[in-house]
Amino acid sequence: MPTGAAMFTSTIGSTFHRAANVRMGLLSNRNEAPPILDPVEYVVEYSFGYDTRRNRYKIARFSNSTLWGPGTNICLHTCGIDRGWRVIQSRVNFIITYDETVNVGVSVTGSHLSTVNFLGLQEQSDDTLVEAVLAFNFRTNRVKIFPTPENVDGDPVLCSLSNKLCCSYFHEGTLKIFEARLDESWQLMILINSLPDPGVPQEY
């Protein structure tokens, strides 16, 4: 996204969304606003992205729906182009795990990449669920799913460091931060031992 540009989506009543460019002082009208979809959907996440190849802003919508079947449904609205939502993929084998404190969608943007990333669960062939990352690329409108780092204690938290997707773990005073590689593997980038528990008040 260009420096200084900021855009967002907001719900107007319960019918449609509107998008605004704060930097340029522009607000979409109702004819350009994508409508709100099925009210029975849950775990709905919206992410705003920038297609660096076509110079277009896009709004992606991720939802788990009882109407569409199990999995994550992904819709896209290209600002200034679309009048509503386009279904990019339905019933993706991935369930976004909702936690407003750690899973609001982590954006990573570069000259050749513009993704939003979510933590969730992916079903395996033996019906077990494993933790994974869903990455949606605003340039290609494609989805990629890959596992979180293996054999690491603690709960994963996605973050962006130096505009690179990372996954952090804190367990028994040890902080580990892994960087995602292009081959969908992870490399340990930061290791800090003997940190205080952030949930326990410290004496000074």
Same domain, residue pair 138 and 153: no
Domain assignment present for residue 138? The answer is yes
Judge if 143 and 191 occupy the same domain. Answer: no
Q: Alpha carbon 171 to chain centroid distance?
A: 24
Domain that holds residue 111: 7-147
Phi-psi category of residue 200: left, alpha or beta, with phi > 0 → left and psi -120 to 50 → alpha: beta
176 near 190, Cβ under 8 Å?
yes
pLDDT tens digit string along 103-133? Answer: 578 988 876 678 999 998 888 888 888 899 9
CA distance 65 to 69: 6
The predicted model scores a pTM of 0.77
* Residue 35 confidence (pLDDT): 54
What are the CA-CA distances from residue 36 to residues 2, 63, 100 (Å)?
A: 27, 12, 21
Q: Residues, the chain, total? A: 204
64 versus 102: the higher-pLDDT residue is 64
How many structural domains are present in the chain? 2
Looking at residue 82, its pLDDT comes to 82
What pLDDT is recorded for position 116? 93
Indicate whether 1 belongs to any domain: no
Amino acid (1-letter code) at residue 146: F
